């Protein structure tokens, strides 16, 4: 009697969510300084994250010491695992110790800014009508009475990420992370850090660090009733207390949102 062998492993293609480090300059010294400033401001923001180095915003004739960049990222506790490159960049990019990767957004021009979610949905919404539908592969018999099309079953609602609610003040050294929105009812003290993949709401004074859109959600926002932060960031774009905040927001109700690659910090009307 033959016995089938048990398969102990499989090798298959798949897609993995990972942070993209989108490089915009071939000046490695300037890039090193900018990365150092970013991780000095938020040292644990991307700690342990898998990172793909995305070169597609560079000019085709630009080069970068990728192995040195990978070592730098590891020093910042990140885990580089591959390189995304244009066809013209693959010869030199493929010479590094990191493998070349295909990106999920290959159909989009990487040198153009990413559209907001609302714009993308409107631009990609199907515009077909019943008259545009392809004809049936089976010809209809003559004089057949028309039969109403069956009503399709409603699609299940997309799963929503859970909101984390913190109903106490956060002390220095405490870190809170939410895979969805994050609501804090209390003070976020100096040295405390809150991060969310969605929006951040603080019903109290924000004196520590608040980071929304932690996995690249550029539509995420930060709302707080008293704006006194050490750092705020959305989708990796950040601003620290060392920079001047707009007039009329410090200590006041404030909202922070992203416009292009610039943070807009504005008074929050509570009326």
The CATH number of whichever domain residue 46 belongs to comes to 3.30.70.260
Assigned domain for 205 exists: yes
CB 222 within 8 A of CB 240: no
Q: Are residues 168 and 105 in the same domain?
A: no
Mean pLDDT (the chain, rounded)? 78
Within 8 A by CB and 6+ apart from 234, the residues are 211, 212, 213, 218, 220, 221, 222, 256, 257, 258, 263
User: Are residue 170 and residue 259 in the same domain, yes or no?
Assistant: yes
Task: Count how many domains the chain has.
Answer: 2
Are both 98 and 178 inside the same structural domain? no
Domain end among 66, 89, 109: 109
Domain encompassing residue 227: 164-267
Give the pLDDT of residue 74: 93
pLDDT of 248: 86
Does pLDDT of 220 surpass 70? yes
**Which of 43, 75, 109 is at the close of a domain?**
109
Is 147 a member of any domain?
no
Average pLDDT over residues 148-155: 49
The predicted pLDDT at position 104 comes to 58
Last residue of a domain, one of 74, 109, 144: 109
Q: What is the pLDDT of residue 188?
A: 95
Which stretch of 46-55, 105-114, 183-192, 243-252 has the lowest confidence by average pLDDT?
105-114
Residue 47 pLDDT > 80 = no
Question: pLDDT confidence of 245, banded at 50, 70, 90?
Answer: confident
Domain presence at residue 155: no
In angstroms, the CA 225 to CA 77 distance is 33
Can you give the C-alpha Rg of the chain in angstroms? Answer: 24
* List of residues 6+ apart from 111 with CB closer than 8 A: 56, 57
pTM: 0.54
Is 70 exceeded by the pLDDT of residue 119? no
Residue 134 above 60 pLDDT? no
């Amino acid at each position: 009697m033959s016995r089938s062998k048990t398969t102990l492993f499989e090798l298959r293609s798949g897609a993995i969510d990972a942070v993209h480090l989108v490089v915009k300059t071939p000046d490695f010294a300037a890039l090193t300084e900018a990365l150092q400033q970013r991780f000095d401001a938020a040292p644990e923001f991307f700690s342990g994250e898998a990172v793909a180095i995305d070169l597609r915003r560079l000019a085709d004739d630009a080069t970068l010491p990728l192995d040195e960049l990978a070592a730098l990222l590891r020093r910042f506790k990140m885990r580089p695992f591959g390189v995304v490159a244009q066809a013209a960049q693959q010869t030199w990019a493929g010479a590094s110790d990191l493998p070349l990767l295909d990106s999920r957004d290959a159909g989009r021009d990487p040198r153009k800014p990413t559209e907001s979610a609302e714009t993308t949905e409107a631009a990609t919404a199907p515009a077909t009508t019943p008259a545009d539908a392809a004809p049936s592969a089976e010809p209809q018999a003559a004089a057949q009475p028309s039969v109403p099309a069956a009503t399709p079953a409603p699609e299940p609602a997309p799963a929503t990420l859970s909101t984390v609610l913190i109903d106490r003040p956060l002390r220095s050294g405490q870190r809170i992370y939410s895979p969805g929105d994050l609501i804090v009812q209390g003070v976020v003290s100096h040295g405390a850090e809150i991060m969310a993949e969605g929006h951040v709401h603080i019903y109290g004074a924000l004196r520590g660090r608040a980071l929304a859109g932690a996995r690249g959600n550029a539509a995420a926002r930060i709302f707080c009733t008293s704006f006194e932060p050490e750092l705020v960031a959305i989708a990796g774009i950040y601003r620290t207390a060392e920079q001047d905040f707009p007039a009329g927001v410090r200590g006041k109700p404030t909202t922070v949102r992203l416009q292009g690659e610039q943070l807009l910090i504005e008074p929050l009307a509570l009326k």
